[in-house]
Structure 1
């Protein structure tokens, strides 16, 4: 009689544990967690990239087409003529070269946006941006050059730009002058005793 009670107890015991997952599956659960962590990390990176692109205010809409052989030239108010002349003549040391040739439109837009901001943060002053002629670009010739002309005007970090000298690419490239960052302004004030 005690024997049948033992069986009932055992059945009851098994019944209590019917929802328990056998131990051998724990490895599977573990890897799923790792996959989830990786998925979350990738999603986070994608969101960060998307935010960078969302913060990218450079225009993708209407643009005034420029002839492939046109000179690009712009200076903000207050830029001294001598400074602009030196930029135009390629007399400043080139700190950074951006090559946009062979890049797709969105890649070029992101590169310009990110690289100009990084260069400014690092205190770089003169960029050489290679845009190419774009004789056969679609939907119109010099598409990238036309957009770059507009983008550089939109960026507060850029205080002047001009088509490069022949030795730096001529009509295929543009010099861009960046304004001083806060550290450089501070250094100048200390050096020259300005308040």
Structure 2
């Protein structure tokens, strides 16, 4: 409890203090003028096109029909390995379905899918592209582009149209290269450098 002298002393010390008439809030206003830094960031964002790391192009391709067989292999792929792929004897570790996609959507999906397969160590996969039988011109558009794109990807070692029970000429088996991690594991396992 304060005494009378303490209270008088306090009031004497506070006699020149005035009450603040404005509310006890900071005034925050958005500047109407853009700063030089803001203008530079804005200019840079507009000027820089988003870099597309996808090497696949949507240029014109040789048109393929529903019954055309897709087949390709890189030099150095053993005949027995390719034969096994062609006959669908490798287990399918992942699948990508391109049905109802535009060419641009398929381009992005194929590039991303093959990259993911390498990253996760998947070697034998299937891509369902459809036959294009319903197209009035009889051209299998996605199939035609896929035949061009797959050899352009360094991670694709070989591909072949699927067996009938996996979609026939409406799908393709794809052999993906081993990741560096898997190659190293094999070297350690088999004692080679």
Give TM-score, length-normalised by structure 1: 0.73
Aligned residues: 157
Structure 1 residues 135 and 74 mapped into 2: Cα distance closer, same or farther (>3 Å)?
Answer: same
Structure 1 residues 111 and 138 mapped into 2: Cα distance closer, same or farther (>3 Å)?
Answer: farther
Secondary structure of the 2:81 match is: helix
**Does 1:115 pair with 2:113?**
yes
CA distance in 2, matches of 1:138, 1:87: 32
Extract unaligned runs of 5+ from structure 2.
1-23, 31-40
**Does 1:63 pair with 2:61?**
yes
The residue number in structure 2 matching 1:175 is 173
Structure 1 segments (4+ residues) deviating >3 Å: 22-26, 136-140
Contact 1:125 1:180 in 2 (8 A): yes
The root-mean-square deviation of aligned C-alpha atoms, in Å, is 2.8
Q: How do 1:11-160 residues align onto structure 2 when only pairs under 5 Å count?
A: 23=25, 26=28, 50-51=50-51, 54-137=52-135, 141-160=139-158
Relative to total residues, which structure has the larger helix share, 1 or 2? Answer: 1
Deviation at 1:161, TM superposition (A): 0.1
CA distance in 2, matches of 1:174, 1:131: 8
Extract unaligned runs of 5+ from structure 1.
1-21, 30-39
- Show CA shifts across 1:151-189 (max 9, x none): 001000000000001111111100000011101111111
Deviation at 1:135, TM superposition (A): 2.6
Q: How do 1:179-194 residues align onto structure 2 when only pairs under 5 Å count?
A: 179-194=177-192
- Show CA shifts across 1:22-61 (max 9, x none): 95874x85xxxxxxxxxx9xxx9xx99x43xx11110211
Secondary structure of the 1:188 match is: helix
CA distance in 2, matches of 1:103, 1:164: 20
Larger radius of gyration: 2
Contact 2:65 2:138 in 1 (8 A): no
Secondary structure of the 1:55 match is: coil
CA distance in 2, matches of 1:149, 1:137: 18
CA distance in 1, matches of 2:96, 2:26: 55
CA distance in 2, matches of 1:119, 1:64: 27
